[in-house]
Amino acid sequence: MEASDPRRRRDPSSISRARRYTPRGRTVREAASDSAEDNRAREHGARDREAARRARSREAKEHAADDLAAKRRREAAARSRQRRQRESAADSREIPRPRREAPARRPAPRSPGTPGPRRPAPGRAPSVRPIRDLPRTGNPARRLRFASAVVLILLVVAGGRLVQLQVTDSAAYAAEAFNQRLFTEPLPASRGAILDRNGNALAYSVEANFIAVDPTRVTGDAAQLAARLAPLLGRPASELEPLIATDKTAEGDPIQFAYLQRGVDLAVGDQIAEMDDPGLIVGDDERRIVPGHDLAANIIGFTGVDTATGLSGLEASYDDWLSGTDGEVSYERGRAGQPIPGAFYREEPAVPGNDLQLTIDADLQYQVQKILEDTVEEHEGKFGSAMVMEVGTGEMLAMASTPTYDAANPFDVEDEEAYRDYGTQATVDPGSIHKAIIFAAALEEGCIEADGTMFVPQTINKGGTTYEDHYPHGDAMLSLAGIIAQSSNVGTIELADCLGAEKVYEYQQLFGLGEPTGVGVAGEAPGMLHAPEDWWGTSYGSVPIGHESTATIIQMAAAYGAIANDGEYVQPTLIDHKLDADGNAVEDSAEPETHRVMSQQNAEDLQYLLQAPIVDDTGTARGAALENYHLAGKTGTGGLAEDGGYAPGNVASMVGFAPAEDPQYVVAVSVYVPNGGGGGGTTGQAFKDINEFTLSYFGVPPSTGPAPEFDVWG
566 and 520, same structural domain? yes
Structural domain for 600, as ranges: 362-405+425-578+592-697
Q: Is residue 106 part of a domain?
A: no
334 and 475, same structural domain? no
368 and 303, same structural domain? no
488 and 369, same structural domain? yes
Are 98 and 86 spatial neighbours (Cβ–Cβ below 8 Å)?
yes
pLDDT digits (tens, 9 = 90+) for 574-611: 999 899 888 888 866 567 889 999 999 999 999 999 99
311 and 262, same structural domain? yes
Q: Is residue 119 part of a domain?
A: no
Helices (H) and strands (E) in the chain, counts: 22, 23
pLDDT digits (tens, 9 = 90+) for 187-237: 878 899 999 999 999 999 888 888 999 898 888 888 999 999 999 998 899
3-class DSSP state of 424: helix
Q: Is residue 499 part of a domain?
A: yes
Among candidate residues 358, 386, 414, the one where a domain is terminated: 358
611 and 687, same structural domain? yes
Q: In terms of DSSP bridges, do strands 632-638 and 453-456 run parallel, antiparallel, or are they unpaired? A: unpaired
**What number of other Cβ atoms are within 10 A of residue 67's Cβ?**
17
For residue 677, the cross-strand partners are: none
385 and 354, same structural domain? no
How many separate domains does the chain show?
Answer: 3
Q: Which of 660, 655, 615 shows the shortest CA–CA distance to 638? A: 655
CB-based burial of residue 114 (10 Å sphere; 0-12 exposed, 13-18 middle, 19+ buried)?
exposed
CA 651, CA 180: separation in Å to the nearest integer?
A: 64
Report the largest interatomic distance among the alpha carbons of the chain, rounded to a whole angstrom: 232
Give the CATH number, domain containing residue 209: 3.90.1310.10
- Give the pLDDT of residue 569: 98
651 and 597, same structural domain? yes
CA 521, CA 299: separation in Å to the nearest integer?
A: 6
- Give the pLDDT of residue 87: 78
pLDDT < 70 regions, the chain: 1-43, 90-138, 176, 178-180, 306-307, 335-338, 587-590
Give the CATH number, domain containing residue 642: 3.40.710.10
- Give the pLDDT of residue 61: 77
Q: Is residue 93 part of a domain?
A: no
- Give the pLDDT of residue 28: 55
Q: Is residue 712 part of a domain?
A: no
324 and 450, same structural domain? no
- Give the pLDDT of residue 235: 87
- Structure letter (DSSP) for residue 523: T
- DSSP, residue by residue, 30-72: HHHHHHHHHHHHHHHHHHHHHHHHHHHHHHHHHHHHHHHHHHH
- Give the pLDDT of residue 73: 85
311 and 216, same structural domain? yes
Are 406 and 414 spatial neighbours (Cβ–Cβ below 8 Å)?
no
- Give the pLDDT of residue 133: 62
291 and 379, same structural domain? no
CA 252, CA 246: separation in Å to the nearest integer?
A: 11
Burial 202-220 (b: 16+ CB within 10 A, else e): bbbbeebbbbbbbbebbeb
CA 220, CA 105: separation in Å to the nearest integer?
A: 76
Q: Is residue 121 part of a domain?
A: no
Strands (E), 361-433: 383-390, 396-402
329 and 298, same structural domain? yes
Q: Is residue 630 part of a domain?
A: yes
Q: Is residue 646 part of a domain?
A: yes
CA 669, CA 634: separation in Å to the nearest integer?
A: 11
